[in-house]
Structures are given as C-alpha cells and as structure tokens.
Amino acid sequence: QSVLTQPPSASGTPGQRVTISCSGSSSNIGSDTVNWYQQFPGTAPKLLIYRNDQRPSGVPDRFSGSKSGTSASLAISGLHSGDEADYYCAAWDDILSGWVFGGGTKLTVL
C-alpha cells in the first residue's frame, strides 16, 4: 500500500494528451513539492518533473506538472509510443522524514 495514490493504468492514442493524478496528504504533497519519474522496463527511474512543475534539462516540454493542495498531476501532450512506461510521483513526507512514492501508473499508447 503506497502512501501516495496513483491510478494503476492510463492510456491514450498517438497525439493525444493524457494526465496522471497523484493524491497525498497534508504531511507530504500538502506541505512539500512533488517529483515525477519515468521508468522503462529494466532501467532506473528518470526524473521527469521536480518541484511540482520544473523540467530537468533534456526533458521535452510535452511533459508538464502541476500541484494543488494535496494532489498533483502529470500531463503528457503529443503522446507517442515511446512514452509507454511506468510513471511514479514522489514527495517528501514530514512525518516519515523521508520520501514517499505513488504505486506507479502504467501508460499504454493505443
């Protein structure tokens, strides 16, 4: 049981825009920033979004993040097959004094 709640799956067609939600509480998302990771099978997670809406160098602007209250969202526009991956949200938790993660969302491009 993950501390942050994500839908287990999401899907879209090429060119479409999809969003993945992440729900937490006042001790994590509600009091700190959210990071998003992309993970392909057999590889390490790659930082996609940090501090809610910041993109690391090299991440296309098709990927965007937002946060409101105790929830956050990752949006992917111009979907293509190369975006098929698992996506995880993460945040600092003040009670745990460590990171908490969502259970991951498997994105399928139909």
Partner 1 sequence: EVQLVESGGGLVQPGGSLRLSCAASGFTFSSYWMHWVRQAPGKGLVWVSRINTDGDSTKYADSVKGRFTISRDNAKNTLYLQMNSLIAEDTAVYYCAKGDPQPYWGQGTLVTVSS
Q: Which residues bind partner 1 (CB under 8 A)?
A: 2, 33, 35, 37, 43-47, 50-51, 54, 56, 88, 90, 92, 96-104
* Residue number with CB closer to partner 1 (71 or 101): 101
Which SS3 state, helix, strand or coil, does residue 77 take? coil
How near is the Cβ of 102 to partner 1 at its closest, in Å?
A: 8
Q: DSSP code of 56?
A: P
Residues 6+ apart with CB under 8 A from 41: none
How near is the Cβ of 47 to partner 1 at its closest, in Å?
A: 6
How near is the Cβ of 80 to partner 1 at its closest, in Å?
A: 24
Q: How far apart are CA 14 and CA 83, in angstroms?
A: 10
Q: How far apart are CA 11 and CA 94, in angstroms?
A: 33
* Residue number with CB closer to partner 1 (16 or 31): 31
* Residue number with CB closer to partner 1 (34 or 109): 34
Instruction: Give the number of other CB atoms < 10 A from CB of residue 61.
Output: 8
